[in-house]
Structure 1
Amino acid sequence: MQKQKEVVNGRTKSPTKMLTITAALVAINLVLNQFTLAFGPLLEVGFAFLPIAVLGFLYGPVNAGIASVVADTIGFVLRPAGFFFPGFTFNALLIGLLFGWFFYRKTITLGRIATANLVVTIIISLILTPIWLNIMFGSPLFAGPRIVKAIVLYPVEVGLLYALLKNLSRVDLKL
């Protein structure tokens, strides 16, 4: 029995290759999630969002969303920090869906990257995460340091995403 292959832009997409690349990018996400650059007690720069954005770019919102949920769940099992809270897994799902929605089969521009990152920052970092932390610990919904962190990290994340996805879009990937 022959495996079904999807044809996109005149190229055949192998489900096996897609699953393999997705698994590799989930593994990279898990590794990157362990490493952050700390600048003082309040500011940490992480890079774990990059493989999820690449998945969104390569395979779309559904693949990136599911892979992000899998990475979040495996990450919690490997290195639990407190108790499991499904709100953060929902955040992971939304991040994958949003990156896929903004990048899949679309031209990569600085404006598109900036808009996608702004939407993710506002929805995830400034709205949902404070709600989850309030539910879990009773912390305030609006914290100044969180807003300052989002403002400081925004251009860094946009620059990293733009450099990565623009270079990926220039390469003729046989994925």
Structure 2
Amino acid sequence: MSKLKNTRILAITAMLAAVSIILSYFKIPLSPLIEIRFTTLPLAIAGYLFGPAIGGMVGLLADVGGYIIAPTGPFFPGFTISAIISGVIYGLILHHHEFSIKRVFIAQLIIVLVVNLLLNSLWLSMLYGKAFMVAVSARLFKEIIMLPINTALVSLVLKAIGERSLIKKVRA
């Protein structure tokens, strides 16, 4: 956490959490259990630039901050855990490595399998009393469709960031 002593990194971390909260307003609800969201971009950027600890912190701040600003239902800490784990996964797989679409795809695949299908389906089944397998099967189609879309979006953003020399200095 020594990175948070750097005011530039602290400011970028706060900005990424704020951007994630703003992006949470842009969602496409398909059913009570299925939504298409774009909040993965700031988590991927945080993990890529600063590593798993700050990636997880951005997930925590974005989830809790988003709930405080505009709650859309009861607060459930399981989704906060999912957001933290997503940021950590991005950090573990993308930080200190050269950009590659393969690494982004691997990170996205792990997040889809572990976080989106397993954990989030578990949280939804606990929260709404739906059967776990019903939640997984309902969400599977969306996750299959979103995997290449999120991989492409994250790849485009991270490639652009990686090419900026100013950000490379901050990333160290």
**TM-score by structure 2 length?**
0.88
Deviation at 1:106, TM superposition (A): 0.6
Alpha-carbon separation, structure 2, partners of 1:90 and 1:70? 11
Partner of residue 92, structure 1:
83
Instruction: In structure 2, give the amino acid aligned to 1:62.
Output: A
Partner of residue 130, structure 1:
121
Q: 1:133 to 1:70 in 2, by over 3 A?
A: same
Deviation at 1:93, TM superposition (A): 0.7
If each structure's helix is expressed as a fraction of its own residues, which one has the higher value? 2
Partner of residue 72, structure 2:
81
What is the RMSD of the two structures over their aligned residues, measured on CA atoms?
1.9
Deviation at 1:114, TM superposition (A): 0.7
Asked if residue 159 in structure 1 is aligned to residue 155 in structure 2, the reply is no
> Which structure has the greater CA radius of gyration?
1
Structure 1, 140-149 or 121-130: larger mean CA deviation: 140-149
Deviation at 1:43, TM superposition (A): 6.2
Partner of residue 56, structure 2:
65
If each structure's strand is expressed as a fraction of its own residues, which one has the higher value? 1
Asked if residue 36 in structure 1 is aligned to residue 27 in structure 2, the reply is yes
Deviation at 1:47, TM superposition (A): 1.4
**SS of 1:142's equivalent?**
helix
Alpha-carbon separation, structure 2, partners of 1:44 and 1:20? 30
Percent of paired sites with the same residue: 30
Instruction: In structure 2, give the amino acid aligned to 1:152.
Output: I
Deviation at 1:37, TM superposition (A): 4.2
Partner of residue 9, structure 1:
none
Aligned 8 A contact 2:28 2:37 in 1: yes
Asked if residue 106 in structure 1 is aligned to residue 92 in structure 2, the reply is no
- Aligned partner (choices 8, 15, 21) of residue 24 of structure 1: 15
Deviation per residue, 1:89-139 (Å, 9 max, x gap) = 100110110011111111111111111000000011110011112222221
Deviation at 1:170, TM superposition (A): 1.7
Instruction: In structure 1, give the amino acid aligned to 2:142.
Output: K
Aligned 8 A contact 2:27 2:38 in 1: yes
Aligned 8 A contact 1:130 1:140 in 2: no
Structure 1 residues not aligned, in runs of 5+: 7-12
Report how many residues are paired: 164
Instruction: In structure 1, give the amino acid aligned to 2:154.
Output: L
Instruction: In structure 2, give the amino acid aligned to 1:164.
Output: V
